[in-house]
Homo-oligomer: A and B are copies of this chain.
Amino acid sequence: MSTYTCELAVSNPDELVFGSAPKPVRCGFDMEIGAGTVFPEVNFTLPAMEISDATWGEVVGHYEEMARNVLKRAVSLQAPGIVLEFELLPPMTERPEWGAEITALLRRHLAAAYEKSGLKSALRVTPTDIRDQGKPPLLRTGEAWEKLKRSFELCIAAGADIVSIESVGGKEVHDLGLMYGDLRSIVFALGCLAPRDMAWLWDHISAMCAEAGGRTVPGGDTACGFANTAMQLAHQKMLPEVLAAVVRAMSAARSLVAFEHGAVGPSKDCAYEGPILKAITGCPISMEGKSAACAHFSPLGNIAAAMCDLWSNESVQNVRLLSGNAPEAYAELLSYDCRLMNVAARNGQSKLLRDWLTESDEWLSPQAAILSAPAAWEIAEAIVNAGDGYQRCLAAGHAAAGILRRAVDEGRLRLPAKELLWLERIEAGLREMPSAETGLWDEMLEKHAGVFEPSSYGWPHFDLGH
């Protein structure tokens, strides 16, 4: 039975707007995400400090304080609802009990705010994908995977309403591909390796949610380790922006696999490929942009909001600002951002505001150009019309490169010479790719021997697809 999606859930780009998704998600304390309202998703983390038995009391104190402040702010601003994201730090996944303890603590705060003030809310918990410790990483066996699995189980039991992960399968090859601008390795990583790990991993995650009674929603994954790495490197002028744009599009083919294996949304905030996923799956998406400048700079500040269902600050440390602590300040900022979107929606004008948010960024960066509603929809369509993971990845790449080329030719997008050079290289590279993934295997097995472990991707059944 094929699990490949062959149809779009959103029938035309005009239906891709913020706040509304064809398949809303109910979870947490009376939250319904994607049903017409955009909610803030507030993310927070520790300031620079060690996590150890000795400091654990302090760690707990920080989370208590962050939860208290953020919820106080949400109540005071009469937010229609709020999602908190708890991204475990690596030691909290290494010792799963720690992650579960914080999960329970946050859940208690949400429960209290719901009871006392009627604040609707949900808690997203994101264990760290620690499976890439080995060289090559072992993804399906070994201690790291055991701990990761246990972390999911305990966090689900401790009250997570949504679980997510930023999974790393394929990244070991993708990193090299990026550094050398080597498109063949990039496609192999995103189209052949990552989807296999995603399918396997998300089958497990969905099963864990179901086994625990189904109260916890399997949210989604993000191509953070792939496309955001490329975006950050492009931001630092280390990689061409056109490469980051094409990688982003191709990464959607990878992140989609979570949904084909149980995820129902809301997708993870840092998955800027979200609009493409929303077009394909109809599931609500979390996005981040200008109000996540605390965590990442990006050329996607406004356009990222255009189709979001949750609006996030990505991550901010519990440091003191002049007004109060940073997580509280970001809770306020996001609440106002959401209010504006919700006002436009209430006035039946979501599409107009969406188009302004898009126009703001669209032609100032190739990375933005491929994320407008029409562009996302075009890439989404290319993906569902293609075959396996490899072909979907290639199709997305071709679609993105095509969008950029047309924009350049028609004078909407102006690129410096060195970016144009790379756009040509990418186009040529895509054209030269074999039509089926088998055509890449020998080359990649040789080139990256020792870098990735084939059995982590199901080898010797590698050839069976995911």
Q: Which of B289, B321, B339 sits near A316, CB closer than 8 Å?
A: B321
Question: What residues of chain B lie closer than 8 Å to A299, measured between beta carbons?
Answer: 77
- Does A293 contact B332, Cβ atoms closer than 8 Å? yes
Which residue of the partner chain B has the closest CB to A337? B290
A23 beta carbon closer than 8 Å to chain B: no
Please judge, given known A-B contacts A330-B293, A336-B290, whether A316 and B322 are in contact too, CB under 8 Å.
yes
- Asked whether A323 is an interface residue with its Cβ less than 8 Å from the other chain, the reply is yes
Min C-beta distance of A344 to chain B, whole Å: 6
Q: Which residue of B lies closest to A232 (CB)?
A: B323
With A302-B339, A356-B347, A364-B78 known as contacts, the answer to whether A322 contacts B333 (CB < 8 A) is no
Identical chains bound together, number: 2
Contact A294 B317 (CB under 8 A): no
Judging by beta carbons under 8 Å apart, are A301 and B78 in contact? no
The number of chain A residues touching the other chain, given as a range, is: 35 or more
> Which residue of A316, A330, A339, A349 has the most chain B CB atoms within 10 A of its CB atom?
A339
Looking at A78, A296, A299, A301, the one whose CB has the most chain B CB atoms below 10 A away is A301
Of the candidates B297, B329, B340, the one whose C-beta lies within 8 Å of that of A360 is: B340
Which residues of the partner chain B approach A294 to less than 8 Å between Cβ atoms? 321-323, 326, 329
Write out the residue numbers on chain B whose beta carbons fall within 8 Å of the beta carbon of A364.
77-78
- Contact present for A323 and B295 (CB under 8 Å): yes
Of B73, B295, B302, B359, which is within 8 A of A336 by CB?
Answer: B302
Q: What are 21 A-B contacts with C-beta separation under 8 Å? A: A78-B364, A289-B336, A290-B333, A290-B336, A294-B322, A294-B323, A297-B329, A297-B332, A301-B335, A301-B336, A301-B339, A317-B321, A319-B321, A321-B326, A333-B333, A336-B361, A340-B360, A343-B359, A343-B360, A347-B359, A353-B356
| Pairs of residues from A and B, 9 with the lowest C-beta to C-beta distance, nearest first | A301-B336, A290-B336, A293-B332, A293-B329, A339-B360, A294-B321, A295-B322, A343-B356, A343-B359
User: Which residues does A use to contact B, with CB under 8 Å?
Assistant: 45, 73, 76-78, 289-291, 293-297, 299, 301-302, 315-317, 319, 321-324, 326, 328-330, 332-333, 335-337, 339-340, 343-344, 347, 349, 352-353, 356-357, 359-361, 364
Known: A76-B297, A293-B329, A294-B322. 10 other contacts (CB 8 A): A78-B364, A291-B333, A293-B330, A293-B333, A297-B324, A297-B328, A301-B332, A336-B360, A340-B356, A340-B360
